[in-house]
Structure 1
Amino acid sequence: MNSLEIISSGDKFTHASVGSLHSFEGKLFVKDATNATSCEISFGSLPSGESVPFFHSHKENEENYIILSGKGRFQVNDDVFDVAEGSVIRVATNCDRNLKCTSELPMTYICIQAKEGSLGNYTMTDAEITEHENKL
């Protein structure tokens, strides 16, 4: 079974790991372990020929799927399309979704869930260049 290992944390960060993505199996949610307050992130893996065992829809949160390895088919309501390593799929609220692995190797993906329409400023519109001693 997969677990999230907390490597280090401080007042302003949590560093965690799910381990090797090449051997990752199943589904793992990370919000509670990292104390995230803005979104839920999960890692998922589907073996060859398998799909998520149910369709689902969200009332408030959109989901963004990032396919890390493998390939498959994705369905949003009645639209079905191919996905593969590097695919990024945004799914809006109030629609059904599911995915299936069609490659010989497992399909591994990240799903990021956040409240639809909540993103305000981002990248440099929400950032400022700061001065800090570089200890890297």
Structure 2
Amino acid sequence: MTSATSLTEQNRAVVEAMFAAANKGDVEGVFSYLSDDVTVIEPLFLPFGKAYHGKDEFLGLAQVLPNYLDISSITVHYTIADGDRVAACVGITDIATGELTHFIEQFTVQNGKIVENRLFYHDAGTLIDQPKAA
């Protein structure tokens, strides 16, 4: 990124690079874009719904998600960025149906690191019918 790149575009690049690392299965790469105290907020109606704090809990979420979603192939349809906020319209395949589950991930980026990720599901598919994860 050059100094001429706006903060908005720098933050968009952070989120897009994090997704690129995730799609390569590069956990270290993903972690390099997260702050140590990152918070991920999944809706409570989901079987894995709760707030996850820090990289250890983020890793725990990443280990539970494959029971429900095929996280090996994340489709980012588009991103929208404004200052420290970046939203990504995302699709991930629901394991039970093979259909894409659509949602928006809203990121807050500070000092080049993702500090918060809040998810908003449009179509939760079969996820809402699954029992709560331990």
TM tier relative to shorter chain:
under 0.3
| Higher helix fraction (1 or 2) | 2
Q: TM-score under structure 2 normalisation?
A: 0.25
